[in-house]
Amino acid sequence: MKPHTLDALFATLEARKGADPSESYTAKLLADRNKIAKKLGEEGVEAAIEIVRGDADKLVSESADVLYHLLVAWVALGVKPDQVWQALEGRTGRSGIEEKKSRKGE
Ligand SMILES: N=c1c2ncn([C@@H]3O[C@H](COP(=O)(O)OP(=O)(O)OP(=O)(O)O)[C@@H](O)[C@H]3O)c2ncn1[C@@H]1O[C@H](COP(=O)(O)O)[C@@H](O)[C@H]1O
């Protein structure tokens, strides 16, 4: 089966560990966790701006930036995509409103 786009991207990014930072933007980010956090925050804000503007095309591009930087963060901290997929699957069928009520003991 063809790997999901995000799984394939993750494999590419993981292979960049130890690459030359002058040749790989991913390797440059992996050398500095603070930089990953900063870029992910910036890209999230840029996506939020396009949501407010209502520009779906730009949101597509900003979403790709957010996902790329999030996956770099997973590589940096040793998180595997399957862990996130499982966390999402564990929430399947449970409404966010119901989940929030159970956390607040309502
Ligand atoms: N999907 C991406 C991707 N999305 C965004 N970016 C980079 O993320 C950066 C986004 O930051 P900005 O737009 O703020 O650009 P900037 O101001 O130049 O960035 P900074 O100087 O602040 O670091 C740009 O340099 C983009 O090129 C990406 N870089 C790489 N990938 C993927 O990762 C693979 C490996 O990339 P390398 O590690 O560079 O070989 C590539 O083949 C792609 O598939």
Q: Kindly give the number of the ligand 1 atom that is closest to the alpha carbon of 19.
A: 38
Q: What is the pLDDT of residues 22-55, one digit of tens each?
A: 999 999 999 999 999 999 999 999 999 999 999 9
Q: Which atom of ligand 1 is nearest to the CA of 16?
A: 38
Amino acid at 59: L
Residue 30 maps to which CATH number?
1.10.287.1080
Q: Is 48 among the domain residues?
A: yes
Residue 15, in any domain of the structure: yes
- Residue 33 is encoded by which pair of tokens? 């966790």
Asked, for residue 92, whether it belongs to a domain, the answer is no
What is the interface pTM, i.e. ipTM, of the complex?
Answer: 0.92
Determine the Cα–Cα distance for residues 48 and 42; give it in Å rounded to an integer.
10
DSSP state of 32: -
Ligand 1 binding pocket, CB closer than 6 Å: 9, 12-13, 16, 24-27, 65, 68
Question: pTM score, two decimals?
Answer: 0.91
Show the domain range for 23: 5-79
Angle at 86 between CA 70 and CA 66, to 5 degrees: 15
